[in-house]
Amino acid sequence: MPKIKQLRKFFQKLFKAKIRLIATVGLVLFFFTIPSRLIYSFPPLEPKHPPSREIDLQIPEPDLYPINVTDEAAPYFSARSAIAVDVDSKAVIYMKNPDEKLLPASTTKMVTALVALDNYQLDQVASISSPLREGQIMELYEGEQITVNNLLHGLLVYSGNDAAYALAELDPNGVDGYVAKMNQKVIDLGLKETHFTNPTGLDNGNHYSSVHDLALIGAELMSKPELAQIVQIQNEVVTDTSGEITHELTTINELLGQVEGLKGIKTGWTDAAGECLVSYTERDGHKVITAVLGSYDRFGETRSLIEWVFGNHEWKKVTLPKEINP
């Protein structure tokens, strides 16, 4: 009997342990299944679409673009930087180091002229106190009274450094104030590779520009009839207000009158900068700005670039597709 009682107690303990094990496993499985049921029990979301609407999209007619129809490559240029830009479309036809910051020499005077046109009246009179005697000068006299218009002629036709400083000294804040206006002008034009320290283009480590910027500056100058007329002049005489002091001006630009359709714009040269030239040429209604900096032959290379552009390109309209799929 004792053995039977012992066996009964053993099986009772084993049964209770089995019940506890089953209950524990059940609880574990229950808690593990709760999160998944909570997460996946939501109904599926319906995709939402924005309301449809008609869009009146008008694509402007494209400009005529210069297309190289011969596939002839541009000639070699010694210039450190060179560029040719179609004025109307702003398309770059040719470029060599277009954004390299280089000494611009007297091509600086394009901005000197633009700032003068913005701030002075053409008949405003400047009194020359101490004329500059450095580099190329139109030989202004101390005490001379001369109009802004005639100073602009001396600046752009003969590249007179003394004319540049006379215009700058006329500013209420002097030369420094005038140069600040020049730097603001290029900022207003959206240019990034240009900074000036003087109105003449005399060499300075912090005085620089790029052919791309100079091409756009040239286009801006040629959009001003008063200045566009001046840069086409080959020879002239200007005087002071009394008519007693005369200044004979002869253009530095050897291509004027020699290259078909060429109408300026500005030369430049120093030992450090090398030969520089920004030119504007118009043929058959097509307008092209070229610029070279650091050249060994600014006139020859500019002529070659102009002839290559007009000799190998045709201006064509780029056709856009009628339907544009997003």
State yes or no: is 3 an active-site residue.
Answer: no
Residues of 147-175 as b/e, b for ≥16 C-beta within 10 angstroms? bbbbbbbbbbbbbbbbbbbbbbbbbeeeb
State yes or no: is 106 an active-site residue.
Answer: yes
Q: Residue 265 in 3-state DSSP?
A: strand
The single residue of 109, 181, 185, 266 carrying the catalytic annotation is: 109
Separation between Cα atoms, residue 288 and residue 55, nearest integer Å: 37
The single residue of 3, 5, 16, 159 carrying the catalytic annotation is: 159
State yes or no: is 127 an active-site residue.
Answer: no
Number of helices (H), then strands (E), in the chain? 8, 11
> In the block, which residue shows the tokens 């030119």?
279
Cα separations in angstroms, 36 against 9, 44, 297: 42, 15, 81
Annotate 141-210 with DSSP letters as a single string.
Answer: -TT-EEEHHHHHHHHHTS--HHHHHHHHHTSTTHHHHHHHHHHHHHHHTT-SS-B-SSSS----TT-BB-
The single residue of 81, 96, 106, 295 carrying the catalytic annotation is: 106
Residues labelled catalytic: 106, 109, 159
